[in-house]
Amino acid sequence: MKDNLAAIRADLLPAQDLIVREFVLGWTGAPRAGLLYLDGLADTDFLQRDVLKPLTLSGDRLAENQLRGRGDLLGQLEEKLLPIAQVRRSSDRRELRQAILEGDGALLIEGCSQGLILGVRGYDTRAISEPTTEGVVRGPRDGFTEEIKTNLSLIRRRLPSRQLAVEFLQLGDYTRTRVALVYMKELARPGLVEEVRRRLAAIRIDGILESGYIEEFIEDNSWSIYPQLERTERPDKVTAGLLEGRVAIVTQNTPFVLLLPTVVFQFLHSPEDYYERPFIAAALRLMRLANLIVSLLGPSLYVAVLSYHQAMLPSPLDLTISAARQGVPFPVFVEAFAMEFTFEVLREAGVRLPRPIGQAVSIVGALVIGDSAVRAGLVSPITVIVVAVTGIANFTLPGFGGATAIRLLRFLSIILAGLLGLFGVIALLALVIFHLASLESFGVPYLAPLAPLNLKDLKDIFFRAPWWTMKKRPGIFAPKTAPPGERQR
């Protein structure tokens, strides 16, 4: 025990937050013991109440047994004295050390080559709060936190099914980040889980700090600007995904859970679509689709039409725009590009600035800069309108990753529109379509179910059919069992 204790301490040196408590077990002639844990990671109250107290104050009952030689001491302690749910034995010094580092306590007893690992992790975690990125009007308000246990519990309490599988693995040579692979045994497409496991196992990295690291390692095409995995802070979204036969990857230290496979249309869907009435959901989805198009093509069409195809405008509109642009010293391309750039700057500033002033700066900044720029005659009010509408339209897209990709493409399309007019925009559009068509997410085409076409699945893409008509699970994720009601539970 002394050797082990000294060795572990030496390994961890200098670690002054390592607490080593040596004491004598509470019966006559009892051996000495040592308890090791890291301050702040293990629950001190718990250790004092349920480890130290019974061990130091226990009577002679155990001693009798020990003297009679019935069973080993550790076994007796484990079975009779320690009221702790998670206890395991280990004779491996490295395992003990790792357990201490991850927040467990280690109990070493004189005369025993083995040690006990006590599951007493108890560090401060953030409480469950409303997700900040995916708000809904109607729907559950709980969001994932940084603690994997909490996150798994949020899923478990929605899915108390024996079919829910949770597999743990640790990624990152130094961070040893706990990652959970969650799926429905009965529903996930055969081979999918194996494929995910294979890709996860291939990850070689020092540390995983966020699920984004994992995403880049396991996605099919990491050179694409489109995310091929869905990330979400919402447990209801993950649960819905699991029920469709998808796989979730929960990562320690981040509220963002990955869902795969993913199709591009998922970035147009909000969980609320499934809670609200179908007509409203359909209207919202169509609006988001329109917003997607506006957000991608709005400014570039504006630039293309004004620079090259002015004849396409109806005369009154043309006159209005020309009047508004009178005196503006820049070509419309420069104007639009500069305004878009300013918008992105303000948006980024809004994210980075300290929270209390962030929002104020972004709004006032936009108003002041926009307004003064127009008054000074540097940009036309029409450009400001186009840019503002585009920006707002982009905010309505629920999938943040997809929306960001579109922001990037928007700049490219403005440049092409400035260079080549409508032809440039369409050329870019063709490139984007070819690219999207080539993407796959874990064997599912990214544009499914539109291309390849699956008519049955289309009822949950541009609109949502009422729940009672959706009798089958979406075929794009190819769940393997019969629909509900047609199988034994």
| Binding track, positions 250-269, relative to another protein; x by CB under 8 A | --------------------
Cα distance between residue 93 and residue 3, in whole Å: 10
Query: Which 8-state DSSP code applies to residue 126?
Result: P
Task: Rule CB under 8 A: say whether 293 interacts with another protein.
Answer: no
Long-range contacts of 265-269 (CB under 8 A, 24+ apart): 265/450, 265/461, 266/230, 266/399, 267/230, 267/397, 267/398, 267/399, 267/401, 267/402, 267/403, 268/292, 268/397, 268/398, 268/399, 269/398, 269/399
Task: Rule CB under 8 A: say whether 458 interacts with another protein.
Answer: no
Of the candidate residues 71, 433, 482, 483, the single one contacting another protein (CB under 8 A):
433
Mutual angle of helices 278-307 and 422-438, in 10-degree steps: 140
Task: Rule CB under 8 A: say whether 445 interacts with another protein.
Answer: yes
| Binding track, positions 103-142, relative to another protein; x by CB under 8 A | ----------------------------------------
> How far is residue 214 CA from its own chain's centroid?
10
- The vertex-119 CA angle with 114 and 120, nearest 5°, equals 120
Query: Which 8-state DSSP code applies to residue 90?
Result: E
Task: Rule CB under 8 A: say whether 438 interacts with another protein.
Answer: yes
Calculate the CA dihedral of residues 289, 290, 291, 296 and round it to 10 degrees.
90
Among 5-13, 186-194, 302-310, 328-336, which window interacts with another protein (CB under 8 A)?
Answer: 302-310
Of the candidate residues 49, 185, 309, 456, the single one contacting another protein (CB under 8 A):
309
Among 133-141, 251-259, 309-317, 388-396, which window interacts with another protein (CB under 8 A)?
Answer: 309-317
Task: Rule CB under 8 A: say whether 200 interacts with another protein.
Answer: no
**Residue type, position 463, single letter:** F
H helix intervals, 309-331: 315-325
**Residue type, position 318, single letter:** D
Task: Rule CB under 8 A: say whether 421 interacts with another protein.
Answer: yes
Residue in 390, 325, 129 with CA at minimum distance from that of residue 234: 129
Cα distance between residue 55 and residue 399, in whole Å: 54
Compare residues 46 and 308 and give the one whose CB is closer to another protein.
308
Residues contacting another protein: total by CB under 8 A: 27
Of the candidate residues 453, 456, 472, 482, the single one contacting another protein (CB under 8 A):
453
Quote the tokens at residue 419: 């260079």
Task: Rule CB under 8 A: say whether 444 interacts with another protein.
Answer: no
Distance in Å, CB of 298 to another protein, minimum: 14
On whether the CB atoms of residues 204 and 196 are closer than 8 A, the answer is: no
> How far is residue 162 CA from its own chain's centroid?
25
Task: Rule CB under 8 A: say whether 308 interacts with another protein.
Answer: yes
Among 207-215, 323-331, 387-395, 435-443, which window interacts with another protein (CB under 8 A)?
Answer: 435-443
Task: Rule CB under 8 A: say whether 311 interacts with another protein.
Answer: yes
Task: Rule CB under 8 A: say whether 434 interacts with another protein.
Answer: yes
Q: 239: helix, coil or strand?
A: helix
Task: Rule CB under 8 A: say whether 468 interacts with another protein.
Answer: no
Distance in Å, CB of 448 to another protein, minimum: 9
Task: Rule CB under 8 A: say whether 289 interacts with another protein.
Answer: no
Of the candidate residues 52, 450, 458, 470, the single one contacting another protein (CB under 8 A):
450
Of the candidate residues 67, 345, 360, 431, the single one contacting another protein (CB under 8 A):
431
Quote the tokens at residue 452: 């390849």
On whether the CB atoms of residues 480 and 188 are closer than 8 A, the answer is: yes
Cα distance between residue 152 and residue 157, in whole Å: 9
Among 114-122, 394-402, 407-415, 434-442, which window interacts with another protein (CB under 8 A)?
Answer: 434-442
Task: Rule CB under 8 A: say whether 46 interacts with another protein.
Answer: no
Compare residues 159 and 450 and give the one whose CB is closer to another protein.
450
Distance in Å, CB of 268 to another protein, minimum: 15
Compare residues 82 and 426 and give the one whose CB is closer to another protein.
426
Task: Rule CB under 8 A: say whether 392 interacts with another protein.
Answer: no
On whether the CB atoms of residues 145 and 155 are closer than 8 A, the answer is: no
Task: Rule CB under 8 A: say whether 430 interacts with another protein.
Answer: yes
Query: Which 8-state DSSP code applies to residue 231?
Result: E
For the beta carbon of residue 434, count every other beta carbon within 10 angstroms. Answer: 9
- Which helix (H) or strand (E) segment holds residue 293: the answer is helix 278-307
Site for another protein in 155-184 (CB under 8 A): none
Task: Rule CB under 8 A: say whether 203 interacts with another protein.
Answer: no
Interface residues toward another protein, by CB under 8 A? 305, 308-309, 311-314, 420-423, 426-427, 429-431, 433-435, 437-438, 445, 447, 450-453
